[in-house]
Structure 1
Amino acid sequence: MTLKHGAILKDTQTQVTRTTETKVSSTRTDTSRCATTLAGLVFSILLFSMSGNFAHASTNSSAWALEQRSPFNVKVQQAKTRAYYPLKRAKQAWKICALVPHLKDAYWIGIDYGLVQHARALNITLELFEAGSYYKKVKQLSQLSHCMDGDYDAILLGTVDPKLLASFHQPITKPVIALVNRIDSHKVTTRIGVNWYQMGWFAGNFIKQDVEQGNAQQVNVALLTGPEKQGGSDWVEEGIVAALQPASKTSSSDSAKNSSKSSKITISSIRHADNNRNLYRDQLYHLLKDQTPDYILGSAVAIEAAVGELAIKQARHGSTLISRPEQEPQLSEVAQLRGNSQPAPQIKLVSSYLSPAVLRGLFRNRVAFSSDDSVVLQGKLAIDVVVRELEGAKPFGDIGPPIQGLQGDVLKKHKLENSLAPADFYPIYRVNPRN
């Protein structure tokens, strides 16, 4: 069944294993030790054959819950959940090169933390290089050349551009695994990450459901979705639109049914910026000067900026002043301006991914919703998978954690150790194996 607008078809390996074990157990009798041994052997063979790449002789006992998606590297995918048992050790001290767009926000810092933690656990060498921006394609190409020519065994490539390898004109002599962002090349057959179309759909669907539960006749949604057509921002944007305005994505028989619902929602503005808070403040300044949307949906960096900007705007409601983009909100200034009798219009903030500031916003009810794709686990998984492939495993295709939706009232039930790096973690660029 093809997934429609981000819906997930889940077929858990745990359920399959439990059924098999029950069948095997039912054949055991106290009178036949031979039959018991044979049944146990059959069960072991069945379990090994089902696990494929998910079993390894040197694995940890606790499994990671992951999604295996297909077809590979396409926008709309089928997904099945799998129990993945991470390695406890590598067969040798591999040397891995990791390239990332930047380490300017919590997303890629969380990826770095996961990479570092699992590289240390497996006692391998890791070297990480950042391009510095999604707009520094030339620099990342130079870094890729350095890693291809160096003594690295494999490359984890968090690309700044899906078509980066089309501009790389030297032979690809080492395994390249896509890290987080997709790579449009037949030379790459494994990607660690989530479906970015689905990430956008999750955030957009929250707004759609929120609107349907309310009484508003018409709502406006402003999008601040990240660098234009870089990383996964284009698919995120398409997923958002598919969730907010499903009539354009449905069959003709469903079109009339959905048109009344989708007509409530208008995407009133789409703006892009690199992941820099000052750039987003500038975008927000102009956005809020032109209009007051009912929702702002954006990257975590955009939503972080919006929390501060809206605090100032609410305090100054009724005034012609709007905070300048370069200004940080000051609590003393906000307190002095709370004498307005008319409350400011409530703008709901929705983040397409999680950060520490977005998490604080969720706790304080300043952010309504955030998608969470477990970036720390993605980093750990990338190290685990690259080591497995170096040691003979087949390509893993599209694999990564399931996406979760977070709201303030469900955070107490959500474990965050795989979602964010610790607050005191600073980026680490090299891990050396222990002697």
Structure 2
Amino acid sequence: MKLSLQLAAGAAVLTSASAIALAADWYPYKIEVWDSFDMASARHSMDYSPVEKAAAKHKICVSFPHMKDDYWLAVDYGVIAEAKRTGVAMQVLEAGGYTELNKQISQIENCVAGGAQAVIIGAISFDGLNNLVGQLADKKIPVIDVINGISSDKVTAKSLVSFGEMGGKAGEYLVKLHPKGGTPAKVAWFPGPAGAGWVEAGNTGFTTAVKEGAIEVVDTKYGDTGKEAQLALLEDALTAHPDINYIVGTAVTAEAAMQLVRDRGLEDKVKILSYYFTPGVYEGIKRGRIMAAPTDSAVIQGRVAVDQAVRVIEGKEFQKHVGPALYVIDSSNVNNFDRDSSLAPDGFKPEFSVE
């Protein structure tokens, strides 16, 4: 009996170790590489592989707009997991929301004053951090632009996709359902917080795409990606436009809309789409309550940003602008896509430091 228990314990340790190894073995991963920071520039695909280990315990600062939804939890998991894998030290900061630009700037300044050798920024504002980025460049501190987009040409590297294409893919999905010539489908559109680079890009991509179909955007409502803020916007839109056919917007919008639509008895009338992907959207698609969402493989973007920072610190060759290839998840593939590239593991809680 004692020997059996020892063998079982040993097997459990091996299984656990194997699971950790598999979780860390995320590469090579197929990504797209742009010729420049211009999203319209030419691009090509490559199999991306990071450094095996950092040469030293570099200090990296990471700044996110907030940790209010599971999208940023996935990015947090990506940067934390890669920091642990490569052996670097990391401090993760969250400003508390898209209204907190000044707080994000001061948090980054304090982190740099504490000895950070590189900064990874998920920007609250497309233009609002440009002065800070310029100051960091003057100090020879590399800045990696992750997820949201920063307009400064002083950014060192970008690990992000085109949110214009993300919005476009959501729009294209609707166009396939409602091609030109039919009765227009009425859509309420919730792009996210006004002024954020990813939101403006997503709005342009979506509104451009739906012009190719029989689709009428009857309302556009901007707002912070907190659930209460999105729920208030949804209630306003449904009250003002009781005849809408679709709610399309952020993942938080889609998650909030599921319950609201159900409570109002509108499940057969109002369909829901998100233009990016979270665990709540994933569950909504599995349960048939959300139709579809494109994924930008947020975990991978976080991992790549860390690798870019390490490479820059160590003077190694790096790709200046990369992002995972986009694809849409719906009922046809929700059970067989690469979940670990898009979502944090079940039970993962926000982590803010790696020593």
Shorter-chain TM-score tier: 0.7 to 0.9
Which contiguous aligned blocks of 4+ residues in structure 1 show a shift greater than 6 angstroms?
none
Residue in structure 2 matched with residue 68 of structure 1 by the alignment: 33
How is 1:415-434 mapped onto 2 (pairs within 5 angstroms)? 415-432=338-355
- Counting matched residue pairs gives 328
Give the distance between the partners of 2:136 and 2:146, measured in 1 at CA.
20
Question: By how many angstroms is 1:393 displaced?
Answer: 2.6
Give the distance between the partners of 1:160 and 1:176, measured in 2 at CA.
15
State the structure with more CA Rg.
Answer: 1
Question: By how many angstroms is 1:70 displaced?
Answer: 3.3
Give the distance between the partners of 1:159 and 1:422, measured in 2 at CA.
24
Question: By how many angstroms is 1:345 displaced?
Answer: 4.9
Residue in structure 1 matched with residue 86 of structure 2 by the alignment: 122
How is 1:22-421 mapped onto 2 (pairs within 5 angstroms)? 62-72=27-37, 74-168=38-132, 170=135, 172=137, 173=139, 174-212=141-179, 216-246=182-212, 262=213, 264-291=214-241, 292-314=243-265, 345-394=268-317, 396-421=319-344
Structure 1 stretch displaced more, 221-230 or 171-180: 171-180
Residue in structure 1 matched with residue 20 of structure 2 by the alignment: none
Give the distance between the partners of 2:206 and 2:353, measured in 1 at CA.
37
Contact 2:126 2:195 in 1 (8 A): no
Question: By how many angstroms is 1:64 displaced?
Answer: 1.1
SS in 2 for 1:128: strand
Question: By how many angstroms is 1:150 displaced?
Answer: 2.3
Q: What RMSD in Å do the two structures reach over aligned CA positions?
A: 2.0
For 1:230, the aligned partner's letter is A
Contact 1:76 1:197 in 2 (8 A): no
Give the distance between the partners of 2:308 and 2:177, measured in 1 at CA.
38
SS in 2 for 1:411: coil
Distance 1:71-1:167 versus aligned 2 partners, 3 A rule:
closer
For 1:183, the aligned partner's letter is I
SS in 2 for 1:71: coil
For 2:217, the aligned partner's letter is I
Unaligned runs of 5+ in 2: 1-23
Question: By how many angstroms is 1:65 displaced?
Answer: 0.8
Higher strand share: 2
Give the TM-score normalised by structure 1: 0.72
SS in 1 for 2:264: helix
Question: By how many angstroms is 1:311 displaced?
Answer: 0.4
SS in 2 for 1:304: helix
Q: Deviations over 1:84-140 (max 9, x none)?
A: 112221111111000110111111110000111110011110101111111101101
Unaligned runs of 5+ in 1: 1-58, 247-261, 318-343
Distance 1:189-1:62 versus aligned 2 partners, 3 A rule:
closer
Question: By how many angstroms is 1:366 displaced?
Answer: 1.0
Give the distance between the partners of 1:421 and 1:306, measured in 2 at CA.
23
Residue in structure 2 matched with residue 45 of structure 1 by the alignment: none
Q: Deviations over 1:212-270 (max 9, x none)?
A: 29x84121111011101214100000000111114xxxxxxxxxxxxxxx4x2111100
For 2:233, the aligned partner's letter is Q
Residue in structure 1 matched with residue 5 of structure 2 by the alignment: none
Question: By how many angstroms is 1:157 displaced?
Answer: 1.2
Q: Deviations over 1:126-170 (max 9, x none)?
A: 101111111101101111211332211111111111113334384
Distance 1:391-1:413 versus aligned 2 partners, 3 A rule:
same
Report sequence identity in percent.
28
For 1:185, the aligned partner's letter is S
Question: By how many angstroms is 1:171 displaced?
Answer: 5.4
For 1:272, the aligned partner's letter is Y
For 1:201, the aligned partner's letter is G
Q: Deviations over 1:31-80 (max 9, x none)?
A: xxxxxxxxxxxxxxxxxxxxxxxxxxxx97941111102331x3434331
Give the distance between the partners of 2:205 and 2:119, measured in 1 at CA.
29
Give the distance between the partners of 1:102 and 1:60, measured in 2 at CA.
28
Give the distance between the partners of 1:232 and 1:116, measured in 2 at CA.
23
Structure 1 stretch displaced more, 382-391 or 298-307: 382-391
Give the distance between the partners of 2:176 and 2:36, measured in 1 at CA.
29
Give the TM-score normalised by structure 2: 0.88
SS in 2 for 1:80: strand
Contact 2:123 2:129 in 1 (8 A): no
